[in-house]
A and B are shown apart, each in its own frame.
Chain A
Amino acid sequence: MSLASTVKPSVASKRSRHRRSLGELWIAILFLLPNLTGFVVFTAGPVVISLINSFTDKSLLTQQTHWVGFRNYADLAADPLFWIFLVNTVYMFIGLPFAMAGSLFLATLLHQKIKGSTIFRTLLYLPSFTAGVATMILWKQLFNPDYGLINSALSTLGVPREQLPQWLNSTKNLLAIDPERLAFNPSQWGIGARDALVLMGIWGAIGGGNMLLYLAALSNVPEELNEAAQLDGASGWQSFRNVTWPQLAPTTFFIVIMSLIGGFQGGFDQAKVMTNGGPANTTTTLAFHIYQKGFEQFQVGYASAVSWALFAIVFAVTIVNWKFGNREDLVS
């Protein structure tokens, strides 16, 4: 067999394979097209348009739009309300460690081989697939200062009536932040609307997706590692602390990142359904502020600028997390 005769079929088959793969590519694109069109029209397109809008004075109330450069960004930086709303947003993160610890605790319990664990898993996941608005209305009743279940329970435990938290009706908070300016105000120390929302957030997050993530991660921890630790005389806590916990680091890191991103974008539903951003704007988060600016005051340009400022904050926080939280010794 000559060399030429061996090369020729090879080139031909390559061409044929190339033609076939091109044909398959077109078919694949055809299959993807509905989804891709939706993504471009409803996600990527609006994102780009909102970026452009953020440099304009676009309003739904006027037909003319002008290019204003960075003025929207300068305005929001100079607006004290923007910073107060940013603090309101960040305040909600107080619940994050508690929610994560709760999720891990529940996941550890559910990881035990006990009868009916599927039922427990379903029950604990209930808050995640119950309609948000319904649970918020329920929580609103629970937070009722006079007739709510929480204050009734506190009263039963002996908390005097005048010391009962006013929950959604109070501007007080655990960090004693003044409701009007970014300052510490000791008279504001206590439990108020912000804390009520944090508490509700913890309840929703403990048994949700984070618990499932931890449950999946726990099932991936090799049994033999724990067995080896126990053979070496480690107690249950030592085994968890030194064997299981490091194995969960990538999951914990993922949960922290996703919770921070979700947290920065959150607070809209609660504000809309439960507080309308009050009292005295203490539960107005950046997401609700964007809605107010964009859809109540129709300042689309400004609202877009707030959105992109929020994106920049989330991006920066994620980068910092990635740099300092994604350590090799933790993840690997």
Chain B
Amino acid sequence: MKTLFFAVLAGLLAFTAFITATQPKVELKGRTPIFWSTDLNPLRTEQVGLFNRLHPKILLDVDPNNGNREKVIVQSQAGVGPDVFDFWGEANFDAFIQSGTALDLTDALKARGINFEKEVWPLALAWTVKKGRVYAIPANVGTDAVWFHKDLFDKQGVPYPKDSWTLADFIETAKKMTIRDEKGRVMQYGALIEVDRFYNEWLASFGGDLWSEDGTECLIDSPESIACLQAGYDFLYTYKVSPTPADESSIAASGGWGGTAGSMAYFRRKVGAMSPGGRWWLAQLRDDIKLKGYQLGAVTPPVAKFAKFSSGGTRAVMVNAFSPNRKEAIEFAIYLMEEPYNTLLNDQADALSGVKSAAYTERYLKNPLDPGADFHLAFRKTLEMGVQLRSTPFLPRSEFELYLNRQIDLVKLNMKKPADALRDAKREIMEALHRNVTRDAELQAEYDRRIAARRTS
């Protein structure tokens, strides 16, 4: 029996040795390999290639399969995380800092003479800087402008929308561009509005915000906030110029409830004449321009009350504090602030460059890949209107969204009035906030301090 056991063991060891010996070897040639956890966007190939050409001592490769927050944090703490990784959104930004995964890049940037807060878009600062320290570099900055099909407008004899238009203009244009058949069924939607996105993007334009300045009170039941959600609802159910959730799901290529896949798919199929959408849509729309002869335009978002737009943010990159190759990873972070990368990014239309100056060039406006196009300017102008909605340190963003989205779902389904939904969401959010602060003595103390300061003031 013993002989059998050791024979099996020896066999397994020999097999392992054989497999290890026959593994294909990466030719490093003295280069330090680093991994960038990012999405599977084909544009990354060129971005990585450029970095590797500019940094002959480092070999950057993409890891597209481990981009989720939970994976990055858990893998990093286990010592097998990526060297640099992408993230999107405030909830992730806070999570990576709190978990100690994000490396403080402030000193490295200063050492290279980079004045970070001056050079990047203000919209990107909320997800890159915390308490004066830089934890992330914007790989790109995105915002939604309003795309439209010029030929559909020509067909209806409706003039093209212009920058600085109002929400009332938008609604009127959407009504004119909505085409119904003899049975009243919509054949072409005027505007592809998704209620939840509309609420988040136009809230600042209505003069609303999510939280009070001190983060102690949720403001989603304010008259401005209710008016904003009501306006989003009206596109679907009052004016009937936008698809309902049932229509949305009809064209969603993948994923779950809602999402952005719907709008772009509808827009590409000309089922909608106008749609809020990002510059990154060009990755697909360029094919339509080239192969189907699409004529596209883009304008800044219509203004409700204030010329502010709370859409967008940054796909930012952090350096993993647990990485053994931090020095090389920092080189990559610096690369994201440099001219070659930002020019390439703008050419590719992978949203907009994180560095402002790269979008104020002739090359940006007259992109060699889009001859004759006049839509690039609208995205830069929209970024100039960009503001970040306030958040709170007293409740995780994901939990806030759980309650808010649940109520907005009911509005989308026409089951609840916007005012009632937002009031209920606020009540649930404040209850959750109180539960959350009682869990943490430090958080509770800070909350009490701010409440006291509020009463005094």
The reply to whether B5 and A169 contact each other, CB–CB distance below 8 Å, is no
Bound: A297/B432 CA distance, A? 13
**B289 interfacial by beta-carbon distance below 8 Å:** no
Partner of B424, one of A61, A71, A180, A277: A180
Residues of B within 8 Å of A166, CB to CB, are: 246
The reply to whether A31 and B410 contact each other, CB–CB distance below 8 Å, is no
The reply to whether A292 and B402 contact each other, CB–CB distance below 8 Å, is yes
Bound: A75/B436 CA distance, A? 10
Which residues of chain A in 174-189 are interfacial with respect to chain B, using CB atoms and an 8 Å cutoff? Answer: 179-180
Known: A60-B73, A169-B246, A275-B257. A281 touches B406 (CB 8 A): yes
Bound: A175/B34 CA distance, A? 55
Q: Name the prevailing secondary structure of the B interface residues.
A: helix
Q: How far is the CB of A326 from chain B (nearest CB, A)?
A: 40
**B74 interfacial by beta-carbon distance below 8 Å:** yes
Which size class do B's interface residues fall under?
Answer: 35 or more
The reply to whether B245 and A279 contact each other, CB–CB distance below 8 Å, is yes
The reply to whether B100 and A169 contact each other, CB–CB distance below 8 Å, is no
**B260 interfacial by beta-carbon distance below 8 Å:** no
Which residues of chain B in 392-417 are interfacial with respect to chain A, using CB atoms and an 8 Å cutoff? Answer: 396, 398-399, 402, 405-407, 409-410, 412-413, 415
The reply to whether A278 and B399 contact each other, CB–CB distance below 8 Å, is no
* Interface-facing stretch out of A142-150, A248-256, A305-313: A142-150
Q: How far is the CB of B339 from chain A (nearest CB, A)?
A: 36
**A104 interfacial by beta-carbon distance below 8 Å:** no
Which residues of chain A in 51-89 are interfacial with respect to chain B, using CB atoms and an 8 Å cutoff? Answer: 57, 60-63, 68, 71, 75, 78-79
Bound: A145/B1 CA distance, A? 64
**A273 interfacial by beta-carbon distance below 8 Å:** yes
Partner of A280, one of B247, B398, B409: B409
Residues of A within 8 Å of B440, CB to CB, are: 57
The reply to whether A137 and B254 contact each other, CB–CB distance below 8 Å, is yes
**A298 interfacial by beta-carbon distance below 8 Å:** yes
**A173 interfacial by beta-carbon distance below 8 Å:** no
A288-310, CB under 8 A of B: which get 1 and which 0? 00001001111000000000000
**B115 interfacial by beta-carbon distance below 8 Å:** no
Residues of B within 8 Å of A279, CB to CB, are: 245, 257, 409-410, 412-413
A17-31, CB under 8 A of B: which get 1 and which 0? 000000110010011
Which residues of chain A in 192-229 are interfacial with respect to chain B, using CB atoms and an 8 Å cutoff? Answer: none
Which of B1, B257, B435 is the most central at the interface, judged by chain A CB atoms within 10 Å of its CB?
B257
- Who on chain A is nearest to B397 by CB? A297
Q: How far is the CB of B189 from chain A (nearest CB, A)?
A: 14
**B439 interfacial by beta-carbon distance below 8 Å:** yes
**B70 interfacial by beta-carbon distance below 8 Å:** yes
Which residues of chain A in 139-175 are interfacial with respect to chain B, using CB atoms and an 8 Å cutoff? Answer: 144-147, 166, 168-171
Bound: A147/B256 CA distance, A? 17
The reply to whether A60 and B74 contact each other, CB–CB distance below 8 Å, is yes
Partner of A27, one of B1, B74, B95, B439: B1
The reply to whether B256 and A275 contact each other, CB–CB distance below 8 Å, is yes
The reply to whether A144 and B406 contact each other, CB–CB distance below 8 Å, is no
Partner of A171, one of B2, B94, B410: B410
Residues of B within 8 Å of A108, CB to CB, are: none
A residues contacting the other copy or chain, number (CB 8 A): 42
**A274 interfacial by beta-carbon distance below 8 Å:** yes
Bound: A66/B176 CA distance, A? 61
- Who on chain A is nearest to B441 by CB? A66
B250-285, CB under 8 A of A: which get 1 and which 0? 100011111000000000000000000000000000
Residues of A within 8 Å of B2, CB to CB, are: 23, 27
**A50 interfacial by beta-carbon distance below 8 Å:** no
Q: How far is the CB of B357 from chain A (nearest CB, A)?
A: 35
Which residues of chain A in 112-148 are interfacial with respect to chain B, using CB atoms and an 8 Å cutoff? Answer: 137, 144-147
**B23 interfacial by beta-carbon distance below 8 Å:** no
The reply to whether A30 and B5 contact each other, CB–CB distance below 8 Å, is yes
**A276 interfacial by beta-carbon distance below 8 Å:** yes
Bound: A159/B255 CA distance, A? 29
Residues of A within 8 Å of B99, CB to CB, are: 60-62, 298
Residues of A within 8 Å of B100, CB to CB, are: 63
Partner of B257, one of A60, A68, A276, A292: A276
Residues of B within 8 Å of A292, CB to CB, are: 398, 402
Bound: A281/B405 CA distance, A? 9
Residues of B within 8 Å of A23, CB to CB, are: 2
**B98 interfacial by beta-carbon distance below 8 Å:** yes
The reply to whether B398 and A24 contact each other, CB–CB distance below 8 Å, is no
Q: How far is the CB of B318 from chain A (nearest CB, A)?
A: 15
Residues of B within 8 Å of A137, CB to CB, are: 254
The reply to whether B410 and A168 contact each other, CB–CB distance below 8 Å, is no
**B367 interfacial by beta-carbon distance below 8 Å:** no
The reply to whether A31 and B257 contact each other, CB–CB distance below 8 Å, is no
The reply to whether B95 and A298 contact each other, CB–CB distance below 8 Å, is yes
- Who on chain B is nearest to A188 by CB? B415
15 chain-A/chain-B pairs, Cβ below 8 angstroms: A23-B2, A31-B5, A60-B99, A61-B94, A61-B95, A71-B439, A79-B435, A144-B250, A145-B246, A145-B249, A171-B413, A180-B410, A275-B257, A278-B257, A296-B70
In the complex, besides A60-B95, A144-B250, A281-B406, 10 extra interface pairs with C-beta distance below 8 angstroms are A27-B1, A137-B254, A145-B246, A145-B250, A170-B413, A171-B415, A276-B256, A276-B257, A292-B398, A297-B398
Q: Sorted from nearest, which 4 A-B pairs have the closest CB atoms?
A: A276-B256, A278-B257, A61-B98, A295-B70
